[in-house]
Amino acid sequence: MRDDRPVRGDLQLYLTGEHDCSYIDGLRARTLFVDPLARIDAKRAERLQQIGFRRSGQHFYRPACRGCQRCIPVRVPVEGFQPNRSQRRNQARNDRELSTRLQPAGLELEHYVLYERYLLDRHGDGDMADEVSIETYARFLLAHWGGTTGFLEQRLGSHLISVAVTDFFSDGLSAVYTYFDPAESDRGPGTYAVLTQIREASRLGLDFVYLGYWISDSRKMAYKETFRPIEAWDGREWRRFGKGEPIRF
């Protein structure tokens, strides 16, 4: 069972009514979210991350759906990570061809143009594509939430391939959102972004890379279980699953 007790006595949590699930057609969802007027500093944000919450802009939330536990928070323990064959090929090719640069979070027109292209290509039939604008982009990814956010750029020469929006915590990195050039999807830029975040966390001496929600029934979210070992939050503790072990509670 998911643990929906208050995070701290002075943080109010609110539960939405039912709405269409963003990940699986035909399902209804509910969302538990932290009072949007609460002051969330880096320490609080880290604690929320450690008990399965995620950040969207300045808002922290987690699913709380009736009779459904498909959205499982997962994180990669950096020290034990062992890339599989496909990930090693991805890393070797992209290390050879791409350059990586960590930029402070900020509004860059080049970034926004890539984000818009990605959203319209990959999520053209969703609500996010209907509302895409510089304003919604800034609210989603540039919000001042009390911690540190960086943009990991991947480039082929001067051409921007991908941007991985990354939050920095004392125990690890959080993969907030990655967007990339759809024309470069064959090189697996999303996977390469995670591999880069894992190496960056290792370089900084951090323990984890938080990947958000793994959803086995969602093609867009199921890939996360390929990073092994992986830890999954069962509502009370993080449980580790090694190579070939199904994530099962």
Final residue of a structural domain among 51, 71, 91? 71
User: What's the average model confidence in pLDDT over 127-151?
Assistant: 86
User: What's the average model confidence in pLDDT over 184-189?
Assistant: 97
In a domain, 47, yes or no: yes
At residue 190, the 3 state secondary structure works out as: helix
Tokens of 31: 């969302």
Q: Indicate if the alpha-carbon torsion angle 186, 189, 195, 200 is positive or negative.
A: positive
In a domain, 136, yes or no: yes
Residues 118 and 184 occupy one common structural domain:
yes
Residues 207 and 92 occupy one common structural domain:
yes
Query: Residue 12: what pLDDT?
Result: 94
Residues 42 and 78 occupy one common structural domain:
no
Q: Is the peptide bond before 229 cis (omega within 30 degrees of 0)?
A: yes
In a domain, 249, yes or no: no
User: Taking the model in full, what pTM does it have?
Assistant: 0.93
Give residue 127's pLDDT band: very low, low, confident or very high (50, 70, 90): low
DSSP string over 128-171 = HHHT-SHHHHHHHHS---SSEEEEEEEEETTEEEEEEEEEE-SS
- As a 3-state breakdown, the chain gives helix, strand, coil percent values, each rounded to 5, of 30, 30, 40
Among 157, 159, 192, 198, smallest CA distance to 178 is for 192
| Domain housing 24 | 13-71
At residue 62, the 3 state secondary structure works out as: strand
C-alpha–C-alpha distance, residues 51 and 17, integer Å: 22
Residues 39 and 113 occupy one common structural domain:
no
Residues 143 and 27 occupy one common structural domain:
no
160 bridge partner residues? 155
In a domain, 113, yes or no: yes
Residues 156 and 179 occupy one common structural domain:
yes
Residues 67 and 83 occupy one common structural domain:
no
Residues 32 and 80 occupy one common structural domain:
no
Residue 80 has pLDDT above 90, yes or no: yes
C-alpha–C-alpha distance, residues 161 and 38, integer Å: 36
Report the chain's mean pLDDT, rounded to a whole number: 93
- Match 């999303």 to its residue by tokens: 190
The count of domains in the chain is 2
In a domain, 46, yes or no: yes
Query: Residue 143: what pLDDT?
Result: 84
- Match 């080049």 to its residue by tokens: 110
18 vs 146, residue with greater confidence: 18
233 bridge partner residues? 238
In a domain, 26, yes or no: yes
At residue 217, the 3 state secondary structure works out as: coil
Taking CA atoms, 117 is separated from 22, 54, 184, 188, 230, in Å, by 20, 24, 12, 17, 31
- The CATH number for 104's domain is 3.40.630.30
User: What's the average model confidence in pLDDT over 244-248?
Assistant: 94
In a domain, 40, yes or no: yes
Residues 172 and 57 occupy one common structural domain:
no
Residues 78 and 67 occupy one common structural domain:
no
Residues 126 and 183 occupy one common structural domain:
yes
